[in-house]
Amino acid sequence: MNFIGKLLGFIIGWRFGGLFGAIVGTILGHIADKKLYELGSVNSSFFKGKMTRQSLFMQTTFAVLGHLSKSKGRVTEDDIALANSLMQQMKLDDANRKLAQAAFSRGKDADFPIRQVIREFRLGCGQRADLLRMFLTIQVKAAFADDHLHDNEKEVLFVVAEELGLSRFQFEQLLMAELAARQFSRGGFYYEQTGGYQNGGYQQQGGGYQQGGGYQQSYQRSNGPTLDDAYKVLGVSENDDRNTVKRAYRRLMNENHPDKLVSKGLPKEMLEMAKEKAQQIQAAYDLICKAKGWK
């Protein structure tokens, strides 16, 4: 029901100001709809009670992180350090930090109902595809934090992707895109180009992922992102023309626009992550344009 404000704005504006009033009323109604959506609460049987969409996003993020960590057999000190680092990066206050820690601990439980949790999360987010994709991207980034994707981690991620509405093919594409996007970051943080792309990351080799039914990868030290990485980030091929590449770039930038994601339920504390994603997309597009001689 995110159209009531626009509808009322149109009717009232038309009555008192004609066509111009209707336009102004619709715009104001749209702003009101967005604000009501942001302030609205959602129900969660797992977290027991009503909460804001931002709180649901944050707690679900850490619960799934806990489940991912446990899926490898045991939660290591590195897993805990990663969760704490994310809390610090988000600058969570004491109250939200406690909620995040509690969610992480609950995610480690053997009977953690991951499908139920993700279904409730998907409904709570209004099934907004761009917001749900950002959630999955955060989980994938966390799984790749140690430069290795364990088979069990991959299966957990696929369960999440499946409940969010992605096919196996779309999921595999997202994994490849995230591997490539890592080449445009340094130590997990985006940096501006200053005469060349350089970092100390890793890159996938061999072009394949399947081996013996598992997800096997080989990495080598890289001097920076390649043109192939850029194509994978945008989900295009080297044979696509300029218009196709530009459409893919614009679509991804629109889907990953930080302010739009926050208005749809992304916690403001995660704004920097959304900015990093948008910057990776921009850097990939710039690299393709430079290689192709497009201005």
Beta strands in 113-201 (DSSP E): 185-186, 189-190
Each residue's pLDDT, cut to its tens digit, for the chain (295 residues) gives 455 555 665 566 666 667 766 676 667 665 555 554 554 567 788 888 788 888 888 999 999 999 999 998 888 888 888 888 888 877 888 998 999 999 999 999 999 999 999 999 888 877 678 788 888 988 988 888 777 788 999 999 999 999 999 999 989 988 888 888 888 774 333 333 333 333 333 333 333 333 333 333 333 334 568 888 899 899 998 899 999 999 999 998 888 887 777 776 677 767 777 788 888 899 899 999 988 888 7
User: φ, ψ for residue 127 (rounded to 5)?
Assistant: 55, 35
Output the CA–CA distances (angstroms, integers) from residue 145 to 69, 82, 182, 188, in the order listed.
11, 8, 10, 8
Residue with tokens 């980034």: 141
Q: Residue 188: enclosing H or E segment and its boundaries?
A: none
If we measure between CA atoms, which residue out of 150, 139, 138, 146 comes closest to residue 201?
Answer: 146
- pLDDT of res. 8: 61
The SS3 of residue 96 is helix
CA pair distance 111, 28, nearest whole angstrom: 47
Helices (H), the chain: 4-39, 53-71, 77-90, 94-107, 114-124, 129-143, 151-163, 168-181, 227-234, 242-255, 258-264, 271-292
